[in-house]
Amino acid sequence: MHLSGQLSDWSIHDLLQIMQVTKKTGSLDIDGARRGRIHFRNGSVTGAELTGSRGSYKGDDRGTIADILYVLSTLDTGSFSVGPADGPDTIGLSVDEVLSDLEALKHLEGEVVDAGLFEAAGIRMVQQIDSPITIDPEDWHVLVSLVQPFTFANLEAQVGRGGAVRLVHTLHRLGVAEPIDQLDDEASLLGTVAGSVTSETAWLERAATPAHAATEAPVAPAPEPAAAEPEPVAAEPEPEPVAVEGETNGSERHEPLGVSAPASTTLTDGVYDEIRRLRSKVSER
């Protein structure tokens, strides 16, 4: 059976069902904004491929097939054609199973869209939770895939030494951290940019920078008219101590009441007047 046409007339869903009903053995090529290939044997799906600028993503397991067909199912323009089979020679999955996986993914996408996460500027983990949560072992890979390997030094540069100790200790207490003796060639360190480790002072630099400084360009304040500054007045030399009545000999001297400043000090008129006022009180005694 020769089958070819346009995706505007036939959806991926339709093509899968046609291949199942006719029990076709062959490879279905999709050529549109994305390029892919779906392999069939006796109407069952045995594998799928997705071709991009960096190579091909392919597989014959259920998860990989569902992911690839989910991407191809978003195409509504382009062409398709069925050629000789060149995929895995296995029993494969029924089209009903594949379509069930596609519907499940579309349902999950709907929840993501409704939550505002699909087109958000960014996504981050919540800072606090209201009650304990349980993560099933099969779901753990989701968190692991988001956190790249890191070193204590990288973490310290981000949150400080005390913060790094607390974070790493918590991971150790939860039993979810392990040391790495040697990184794989493809592994990257969290905090490593363009092959150089993040500055060890990055955390301190951020802590010393106002929050708005990172997002707003500094704006020079409008010049204000210069106010007339009072003419500085040199302080008078420190006066001799004033004797207080009742002194019996020269060796017993009381400190004067008042304020004095060395001649090198520059004072404004207001402060200087206050000093003279205090001195006058001492003289009156």
Which three-class secondary structure state does DSSP give residue 135? coil
pLDDT tens for each residue of 187-206: 555 444 333 344 444 544 55
Residue that finishes a domain, picked among 60, 79, 100: 100
Structural domain boundaries, residue 15: 4-100
pLDDT tens for each residue of 35-91: 999 999 999 999 999 887 777 888 899 988 999 999 899 898 999 999 998 888 888
CA distances from 38 to 3, 30, 35, 81, 203 (A): 14, 8, 10, 11, 50
The pLDDT, as a whole number, for residue 217 is 47
Which three-class secondary structure state does DSSP give residue 10? coil
Residue that finishes a domain, picked among 58, 81, 100: 100
Using alpha carbons only, give the angle 171, 124, 101 rounded to the nearest 5 degrees. 95
Using alpha carbons only, give the angle 80, 86, 90 rounded to the nearest 5 degrees. 115
Structural domains counted in the chain: 3
Kindly state whether residue 268 falls inside one of the protein's structural domains: yes
- How many residues are recorded in the chain? 285
Kindly state whether residue 78 falls inside one of the protein's structural domains: yes
The pLDDT, as a whole number, for residue 262 is 53
Shared domain check, 259 and 181 = no
Kindly state whether residue 272 falls inside one of the protein's structural domains: yes
Residue type, 252: E
Shared domain check, 96 and 28 = yes
Kindly state whether residue 143 falls inside one of the protein's structural domains: no
Shared domain check, 197 and 240 = no
Kindly state whether residue 80 falls inside one of the protein's structural domains: yes
Per-residue pLDDT at 272 exceeds 80: no
pLDDT tens for each residue of 95-131: 999 999 999 999 999 999 999 988 889 888 888 889 9
CB 65 within 8 A of CB 48: yes
Per-residue pLDDT at 251 exceeds 50: no
Q: What is the pTM of this model?
A: 0.56
State the virtual CA torsion across 244, 247, 250, 251 in degrees, nearest 10.
-100
C-alpha 75: how far from chain center: 32
User: Could you tell me the two tokens for 128?
Assistant: 């606090």
Kindly state whether residue 276 falls inside one of the protein's structural domains: yes
Give 149 or 53, the one with higher predicted confidence. Answer: 149
d(C-alpha 19, C-alpha 28), whole Å: 9
Query: Exposure string (b/e) for 117-146, b if CB count within 10 Å is 16 or more?
Result: eeeeeeeeeeeeeeeeeeeeeeeeeeeeee
C-alpha 203: how far from chain center: 14
37 CB burial (10 A radius; 0-12, 13-18, 19+): buried
Kindly state whether residue 168 falls inside one of the protein's structural domains: yes
Shared domain check, 240 and 194 = no
Kindly state whether residue 114 falls inside one of the protein's structural domains: no
85 CB burial (10 A radius; 0-12, 13-18, 19+): middle
